[in-house]
Chain A
Amino acid sequence: MEVEQFSYDNKIVRYFTYATALWGAVGMLVGVIVALQIFIPEANFGISWLTYGRLRPLHTNAVIFAFVGNGIFAGVYYSLQRLCKARMWSDLLSKLHFWGWQLIIVSAAITLPLGYTTSKEYAELEWPIDILIALVWVIFTVNMFGTIFKRRERHMYVAIWFYIATVVTVAMLHIVNSIEFPLSLMKSYPVYAGVQDALVQWWYGHNAVAFFLTTPYLGLMYYFVPKAANRPIFSYRLSIIHFWALIFIYIWAGPHHLLYTSLPDWAQSLGTVFSIMLIAPSWGGMINGLLTLRGAWDRVRTDPILKFFVVAITAYGMATFEGPMLSIKSVNAISHYTSWTIAHVHVGALGWNGLLTFGMLYWMVPRLFKTKLYSVKLANLHFWISTLGIAFYAIPMYFAGWMEGLLWKQFTPEGFLQYPNFLEIVTQIIPMYAIRAFGGALYLSGVFVMAYNLIKTMKSGVAEDNEAAEAPALPKKYHEKEVHPYRHRWLEAKPAQFIVLTFIAVAIGGLIEFIPTFMVKSNVPTIASVRPYTPLELEGRDIYIREGCNNCHSQMIRPFRSETERYGEYSKVGEFVYDHPFLWGSKRTGPDLHRIGGKYPDAWHYQHMEDPRSMSPGSVMPPYPWLLTSKLDTSHTRDKISLMRSLGAPYSDGYEEQAMADLQEQAEGISKGLEEAKIITDWDSEIVALIAYLQRLGTDIKVEGAQAGL
């Protein structure tokens, strides 16, 4: 066989490596800032684009797509070339991929603070950036498959399978969840409304965790852990089995984010069942990773890279045990909307993704620069700083979560809420917020230690853009008998596993198809009194979205006595049919707002937005004084009406002509009412629209109650 000479593209790996470290520091810095802002609202310096509601999406997007994203690409570009014994298919596509992805990140860093957001978690970026993401992802996919097709190694190592699942599924998730109608260059509305939007969003959101934070990182684990431990993976067969099981099961688990919401029960149960099943393939990966170190545990004492990997894989095991537990409805009843979720995701993000990335960087950078790591001591220091940082982050957040979950539900013996004032519980967990911020800052400082160590390492070596390699060409045709004389023996030994797996895959599809077919019609009972938003409320809703209110306030009252006592009637699925997008939220840093309408006078809202502490002493909500002075932008009001009609809102034909007059009339009404409370405000200020929206929230069914004489 002829040996071919070629080279690996190390330059692109280096670029992604730099980007990983840089965006990691930036994303975590924003994380520390929002961790401070959550209990010190003054930390936004009174600047609108530095408020929590706008920076929190920036933090999540930066760490997921910028830090972990570039980490995936660095690791994939390094390992894929070597596993395939081939250079990346196209240097041009590699470059386009790199610069395209950085352009996306920069666009996100600019647009999110400016308030351009879809409000859908981890999919906040507006439609032009969504299109750019799709394009760059296609570039990556083509480049990857091109490389796989021209590989010189017949067998595709299991890591490659994980990479394939990642590119295929992320493309699908992103496209389905981003189907939205553009209103203007930087504003769009999803085609889905209410419960449908929620279902699609969390189908996406959960699988962003599955196929962006998990499968690619398992692939990286299967490459870098054996390499660093210098021994093969514990069980190659287990890796194959858990791979197929994982990807088949993950995709159905999304509804566990919507337990006890208005999502139909059968969909909730489905989410729970699949989530609990997930523990098996997830732990298959964890066990396989950890046992790879069998016989090499002595080296874990001295080798910081292995330390990072061991704690990363352990964190993966913890998070994937906790995930199924949190998907059990009775556990979720306590955990949902609390800081418990935040602790859970950070064990995954800081532990699994963060530490695995650090270990990978410490392993790759010396090789890319043909040198030794500058300081093993500093790497060890980094390991201990980041591990302690995770502990200081997660433990107080668990306590905070349990406190929230339990205190919200606490009744006195007489049957009243023990803590009827939500704020009373918020102020009790402020110390935990403070310790969490310290933990986050500790973790971030570790990244700077790493950056110093890696820069010193780079300076001591010489980067080689193209690393020479050689391998025999792959025979064009695959001859089963020649290559694998034992095929029959294999068939006898293993078909059972594959038949079982195949059956599961098919059965899943069948089940999912049948159940909704029989049950779907009764799923969204319509409520006659639920009307579309008025033009002013529609504008107010967009301000609510722009300011990111949904980051701290839910709009979904679960059917528990503790919640109906505190907030009012539980939320009905039919109430959200005109909500594009849904704004159910996922965290209650502040109280639920679904029945806020009519609860307080307009003047209360005005003063509360101007300075929350004037109405709620001790509140951690930031003031929004700019809403009082900014003029409401009504240039798109007519278009919004048309767009909402095309999405199904029953505005009468030609209502666009009437919309502006209606908007002004409603706004002047609010403004006059405020005047009686000695508050002078222009009818066309943003605060008026926001008040109109807040006062409308959850009131539709009260109308029905009034008519029915209840």
Chain B
Amino acid sequence: MSAIFLLIGASLLVAVGFLALFVWAVRSGQYEDTVTPSMRMVVDDDGAVPGGQHGASVQRKDSSNNLE
């Protein structure tokens, strides 16, 4: 069962890493706004050429999923 120490070590390492990441995320303001990011990714265009035929721009939302 001594392998459990390795697993605990590895798991803790990754858990502590994630904890540090979490603390960093909160401190750096990642989660200050929990509304806008979800909206923004929907209305963000997909990098289509502005004015291009298929640019799903903010004004012209592409809601048809390019189906028809």
A residues contacting B by CB (< 8 A) are 7-8, 81-83, 85, 154-158, 161, 164-165, 168-169, 172, 176, 192, 195-197, 199-200, 203, 223, 226-228, 230-233, 236-237, 239-240, 244, 247-248, 251-252, 264, 267, 303-306, 363, 366-367, 370-373, 376, 467-470, 478, 480, 483-484, 486-487, 490, 494, 498, 501-502, 505-506, 508-509, 512-513, 516, 520, 523-524
Given A176-B7, A252-B11, A506-B19: A8 in contact with B47 (beta carbons within 8 A): yes
Inside 8 A of A169's CB, which chain B residues have their CB?
14
State whether B12 touches A509 (Cβ < 8 A). Answer: yes
Q: Give a binary string over B24-68; 1 marks a CB under 8 Å from any A CB, 0 the rest.
A: 011011111111111111101111111001100000011101111
Inside 8 A of A483's CB, which chain B residues have their CB?
29
A-B contact pairs, 19 of them (CB 8 A): A83-B41, A154-B29, A155-B30, A155-B37, A164-B21, A165-B18, A176-B6, A176-B10, A199-B7, A203-B11, A231-B42, A251-B11, A305-B67, A366-B66, A367-B46, A367-B66, A467-B49, A469-B48, A484-B29
The smallest C-beta distance from A335 to any residue of chain B, in angstroms, reads 24
- Inter-chain pairs besides A251-B15, A498-B22, A501-B22, 18 sampled, C-beta below 8 Å: A82-B44, A155-B37, A157-B38, A172-B10, A176-B10, A192-B3, A199-B4, A232-B42, A248-B18, A304-B67, A305-B65, A363-B65, A363-B66, A373-B67, A467-B46, A469-B47, A469-B48, A516-B4
Closest to A193 in B: B3
Inside 8 A of A371's CB, which chain B residues have their CB?
66
Given A172-B14, A484-B33, A505-B15: A230 in contact with B42 (beta carbons within 8 A): yes
Q: Once bound together, how far apart are the Cα atoms of A264 and B66, in whole Å? A: 55
State whether B3 touches A200 (Cβ < 8 A). Answer: yes
State whether B32 touches A251 (Cβ < 8 A). Answer: no
The smallest C-beta distance from B58 to any residue of chain A, in angstroms, reads 12
Smallest CB-CB A-B distances: 7 pairs:
A469-B47, A196-B3, A523-B1, A232-B38, A366-B66, A236-B38, A230-B63
Q: Once bound together, how far apart are the Cα atoms of A199 and B4, in whole Å? A: 8
State whether B8 touches A513 (Cβ < 8 A). Answer: yes
Inside 8 A of B29's CB, which chain A residues have their CB?
154, 478, 480, 483-484, 487
State whether A200 touches B1 (Cβ < 8 A). Answer: no
State whether A267 touches B14 (Cβ < 8 A). Answer: no
Inside 8 A of A172's CB, which chain B residues have their CB?
10, 13-14
Inside 8 A of B46's CB, which chain A residues have their CB?
82, 367, 467
State whether B14 touches A168 (Cβ < 8 A). Answer: yes
Select one of A168, A223, A468 contacting B49, CB under 8 A.
Answer: A468
Inside 8 A of B35's CB, which chain A residues have their CB?
236
Inside 8 A of A8's CB, which chain B residues have their CB?
47
State whether B4 touches A267 (Cβ < 8 A). Answer: yes
State whether B47 touches A247 (Cβ < 8 A). Answer: no
Q: Once bound together, how far apart are the Cα atoms of A373 and B62, in whole Å? A: 14
Q: Once bound together, how far apart are the Cα atoms of A83 and B42, in whole Å? A: 10
State whether B32 touches A486 (Cβ < 8 A). Answer: yes
Inside 8 A of A226's CB, which chain B residues have their CB?
38, 41-42
Q: Once bound together, how far apart are the Cα atoms of A232 and B35, in whole Å? A: 9
Closest to A264 in B: B1
Q: Once bound together, how far apart are the Cα atoms of A570 and B1, in whole Å? A: 19
State whether A244 touches B34 (Cβ < 8 A). Answer: no
Q: Once bound together, how far apart are the Cα atoms of A494 and B33, in whole Å? A: 11
Q: Once bound together, how far apart are the Cα atoms of A508 and B14, in whole Å? A: 13
The smallest C-beta distance from A690 to any residue of chain B, in angstroms, reads 29
Q: Once bound together, how far apart are the Cα atoms of A383 and B28, in whole Å? A: 43
Inside 8 A of A156's CB, which chain B residues have their CB?
25, 30
Inside 8 A of B17's CB, which chain A residues have their CB?
168
Inside 8 A of A366's CB, which chain B residues have their CB?
66
The smallest C-beta distance from B57 to any residue of chain A, in angstroms, reads 12
Inside 8 A of B61's CB, which chain A residues have their CB?
230
State whether A520 touches B4 (Cβ < 8 A). Answer: yes
State whether A200 touches B42 (Cβ < 8 A). Answer: no
Q: Once bound together, how far apart are the Cα atoms of A197 and B7, in whole Å? A: 11
The smallest C-beta distance from B34 to any residue of chain A, in angstroms, reads 4
State whether B38 touches A467 (Cβ < 8 A). Answer: no
State whether B47 touches A82 (Cβ < 8 A). Answer: yes
State whether A512 touches B41 (Cβ < 8 A). Answer: no
State whether A228 touches B65 (Cβ < 8 A). Answer: yes
Closest to A495 in B: B26
Inside 8 A of B34's CB, which chain A residues have their CB?
236-237, 240
Given A236-B38, A512-B8: A367 in contact with B54 (beta carbons within 8 A): yes
Q: Once bound together, how far apart are the Cα atoms of A83 and B67, in whole Å? A: 23
Inside 8 A of B47's CB, which chain A residues have their CB?
7-8, 81-82, 85, 467-469
Inside 8 A of A468's CB, which chain B residues have their CB?
47, 49
State whether B65 touches A502 (Cβ < 8 A). Answer: no
Q: Once bound together, how far apart are the Cα atoms of A486 and B36, in whole Å? A: 14
Inside 8 A of B68's CB, which chain A residues have their CB?
372, 376
The smallest C-beta distance from B48 to any residue of chain A, in angstroms, reads 7
Closest to B28 in A: A478
Q: Once bound together, how far apart are the Cα atoms of A523 and B3, in whole Å? A: 11
Closest to B56 in A: A367
Closest to B31 in A: A240
The smallest C-beta distance from B25 to any residue of chain A, in angstroms, reads 8
Q: Once bound together, how far apart are the Cα atoms of A478 and B22, in whole Å? A: 17
Select one of A157, A363, A370 contacting B37, CB under 8 A.
Answer: A157
The smallest C-beta distance from A454 to any residue of chain B, in angstroms, reads 13
Q: Once bound together, how far apart are the Cα atoms of A158 and B39, in whole Å? A: 12
